[in-house]
Structure 1
Amino acid sequence: MGKNETSRGMVIFSVSFYIVTALIMVFVNKWVLNKVSLPFTLLWFQVIVAVILLHLTNLFGILQLPIIEKQKCIGLLPLILINILGLSFNTICLQYVDASFYQVARALVLPFTVIFSYIFLNQKSSYKILLSCLIVCVGFFVGVSSERLTISIIGIIFGVCSSISTALHAIVIKKSLNVVKGNTMDLVYYNNFLSAIAFLPLIFLFGEQNQLLELFIKNTTTKQYSIEAKTFFIGILITGFFGFLINIAGFLQIKVTSPVTHMISSAFRGVVQTILGYLLFSDILTTGRVGGIFLILFGSCVYTWFKDQESKQFQNTSKFDKKVYDKLERGDSLDDDYDKIEIVEENEK
C-alpha cells in the first residue's frame, strides 16, 4: 500500500472515529438526562471512568501517565475551572433543549473565540473572518427566534454560557500546554483527574446525592432496580468509555487532518446530529431551526476556508512571517518579531 493510500485511510479513520464518538456522547447523555436529572453526577462518573481507563492503558504499557505534581496542578487550575464550567454548561444545556437544537444553542463558539483571541492574544481578524462570524450569529438568531415559544430559555442561556466557556477553553489550553511541557496526553490525564476531584463537591452542593441514593434502592415489590437506575448505570459506562475515546479522537483528527477537513467533519456531524435527533427523540424540525443550522454550518465552513487561505498566504511570505505564524498558534506576543521584520526590511533597502 502506498504512502498516499495509507494517509488517506488514516484521515478517513480519524474523521469517522471522531464523528461517531462525539455523536454517541451527545445522544447517550440526552437519553440519560431524559430519564434522570443528575447532570453533575453523570459528569463525575464520566471523568472517573476516563481516569480508570487511562490507568489501565498505563498498566498495559500503551500510555505512560505522569506523576501528579503540586506545582503543575496549581498551574492548570484555570484550565480545570474552564473545563468544569464548560462540561456543566454543555450538559445542562442538553438537558433543557432538543438534541437537534443543541447545534443552535451552542452556535456562538466561533464568534466568541474570535473576540477572546483579540482581547487576550491580540490576534486581529480580517473582514472576511468577521463576515463568517456574522453569518454564524445570524444563524443563531434565526434558529432561536423561530423557537422562542417552544424552546427553553434556560437551555439557550446555558448554550450561550457553553459557547463562552468553550471559546475560553481553546485559549487556556494554549497556555496550559506550557505547564506540561507540550505533552498532550499528560494534559488529558491532569484534566480528567483534577476534574473528578472538582465535580465531587458540586454533587453535594446541588443535592444530587439524595436522588442518587433513591435511584439505586431496589423496588420493594419486584426486588429490582428501576428503569431509571438501569438507564443511568448503562449511560455512565457508555459515556465514560466514549468520553475517554473522544480525547484521543479529537487529538488524532487534529494531528492527521487539516483545519478545513476538521471543520467539514464537524459540519457533517451537525447535520447527522439534527437528523438523528428527529429520528430517535422525535424532535420537531421547523423551517427556522433548519435554516439556522444551515447558516451556522455554512458560516463555520466559510470561516475555516478563509482562515486556511490566510494561514497559507501568511506562511509563504517570508521566514520571519512563518515565525510570527508559529507564535500566533502558541498565543505568544508578536511585538519582537514585527520589530525584527522591520529591521530586516530596512537593511535590505
Structure 2
Amino acid sequence: MKESLSHLPKPLIIFLVVALYWIISISLVFINKYLLSDEIFQLKTPLMITWFQCVISLLLCVSINLLSKFVGIINVPACPINYKICEESFPLAIIFVGMIIFNNLCLKHVGISFYYIGRSLTTVFNVIFVYFILRQRTSLRVIMCCVIIIAGFLLGVDQENVTGTFSYLGGLYGILASACVALYSIYLKKLLPIVDESVWRLTFYNNFNACFVFIPILIWNGEFGRFLSAPFLSDPKLWGLIGCSGLFGFAIGYVTGLQIQVTSPLTHNISGTAKAAFQTLLGVLYYHEIKSLTWWLSNVIVLGGSMAYTHIRHSEMSASKVKNTSMNNGSKSAKIAISMDDSDKQALLPSKP
C-alpha cells in the first residue's frame, strides 16, 4: 500500500494512513466490546475470539497473496513460509499475542469510555523501554510529562472507583496492554529489515506465529471446551461479528505497522493516544453515560501530558538532527582542509628528475 501511495506528498500519506488507523481501530473496539459482552452471547471466551481474529487474518493474507497472482491490480509481496524468518520474528509474535490478549481482556472488564484511561500508560512504558532496550536517555522535561500522564491515570481510576464502575482486573489488563503496545512498536521497527521493510510480510509471519502461540494458552485455560458448549454457537449473527472482528483485526495489524513505517514508534503511540481520546467521547455518547467534571479532567490531564510529550520529543529530535548534520558538515570541512594542506605540501617538494 505504501508503494501505491508513493506518488503523493509525504504529509498527505501520513494523514491518510493515520486516518485509516483511527477508523479501523475504533470500529474494532466497538465490535470487540459487543462480542466480549457476556450478557449478549454468553461466550466467556475472550481469548478464543482473539485467536479467531489471528486465524482469519492469516487466511486473508494467504488468500490475497493467491489472488494477486491472477488479478493484476492487487500487488502484494510473496509470503512463502521461511522458517528462519519465523524464528527471528517469533519474539515479536509473543508480544503481539500479549498485546491483543490484554487489550481484549481490558475491554471486556471496562467500558469503552474508560478504555482510554486504562491504556494511557503506553507513552510512559515507551520511555522506559527506550531507555532499557535502546539505551537512549530521556530529558527531565519528558519525565515530567510522564508524571503528568500517570497523575491523570490515577485520577481517572479514582473517579471510576467513586462511581463504583472501576474494575481492578480491567485496570491491570490495561497496564499490561500499554506495556505490550510500547514494546511492539519498538520491536516491529527493529524487525522490519528482515522482511525487506515489508509490513505485509511481517503481518503474515506475525499472525502465522501467533496462531500457534495461542493454542497451548487456549488448552490450558479451557476456552476450547467453553466455546463449543456456548448457547449461541449456531447464531449466524455471532459468526458474522467474529468474521468482522477478524477482518478488522487483520486490517489493524497491517495499518499499525504501516503507520509506524511512515512515521515512527513515537508518533504511532501518540496517534493511538489521541485516537483513544476521541474514542472515549464516542463511548460516552453511544452508551449515554454521565461523567463528572473531575472524570473529564483526568482525560484532559492525560491528553495534555501526551501532547506536551509529543512537542518536547519533536523539539529534541529536531535539535539532535541539526546537531548531527552540523557535526557531519564540520567533519567533511576538516577532511577537505587536510586534503588541501597535503596538496600544498606536495607542491613545495622538489620534483623528481
For normalisation by structure 2, the TM-score amounts to 0.80
User: 1:267 deviation in Å?
Assistant: 4.6
For 2:107 and 2:146, the matched residues in 1 are separated by: 23
2 CA distance for matches of 1:123 and 1:107?
22
Query: What amino acid is the match of 1:206?
Result: N
The farther-off stretch of 281-290 and 112-121 is 281-290
Give the superposition deviation at 1:260: 8.8
Residue 111 of structure 2 is matched in structure 1 by 98
The alignment status of 1:16 with 2:22, answered yes or no, reads no
Structure 2 unaligned segments of length 5 or more: list them.
Answer: 1-5, 69-74, 339-353
What residue is the counterpart of 2:28 in the other structure?
Answer: 25
**Equivalent AA in structure 2 for residue 239 of structure 1:** S
User: Match for residue 297 of structure 1?
Assistant: 303
SS at the partner of 1:123? coil
Q: Please, what TM-score do these two structures have when normalized by structure 1? A: 0.81
Quote the Cα distance in structure 2 between the aligned partners of 1:262 and 1:120: 18
Partner of residue 112, structure 1:
125
Structure 1: state its 5+ residue gaps: 219-224, 324-339
Deviation (angstroms), 1:127: 1.4
1:156: how far off?
0.5
Does the 8 Å CA contact 1:32/1:231 hold for their aligned counterparts?
no
Moved more, 47-56 or 17-26: 47-56
Give the match for residue 238 of structure 1. 244
**Structure 1, residues 118-151: CA drift from partner, whole Å, max 9, x if none?**
1121100111211211111111111011222431
Contact 2:109 2:169 in 1 (8 A): yes
Equivalent in the alignment of 1:318: 324
Greater shift in the superposed pair: 232-241 or 258-267: 258-267
Tell me the residue number matched to 2:225: 210
Deviation at 1:254, TM superposition (A): 4.2
CA displacement 1:88-133 (0-9 Å, x = unmatched)? 1111111000111011111111111111111121100111211211
**Correspondence for 1:53:** 60
In 1, distance between residues paired with 2:143 and 2:239? 45
Q: Give 1:67's aligned amino acid.
A: P
1:157–1:284 distance in 2 versus 1, CA, 3 Å: farther
| TM-superposed deviation, 1:169 | 1.9
Q: How does 1:217-256 map to 2 (within 5 A)?
A: 225=234, 229-256=235-262
Contact 2:192 2:198 in 1 (8 A): yes
Shift of 1:231: 4.5
Q: Give the deviation of 1:217 after TM superposition.
A: 6.8
Code of the residue aligned with 1:163 in structure 2: it is: S
RMSD value over aligned CA atoms?
A: 3.0
Judge conservation of contact 1:267–1:301 (CA < 8 Å) in 2: no
Task: Report the secondary structure of 2:187's partner residue.
Answer: helix
Q: Distance in 2 between matches of 1:118 and 1:322?
A: 26
Q: Is the radius of gyration larger for structure 1 or structure 2?
A: 2
The corresponding residue for 1:329 is none
Return closer, same or farther for 1:150/1:230 CA change in 2, 3 Å cut-off: same
* Residue pair 1:315, 1:322 contacting (<8 A) in 2 also: no
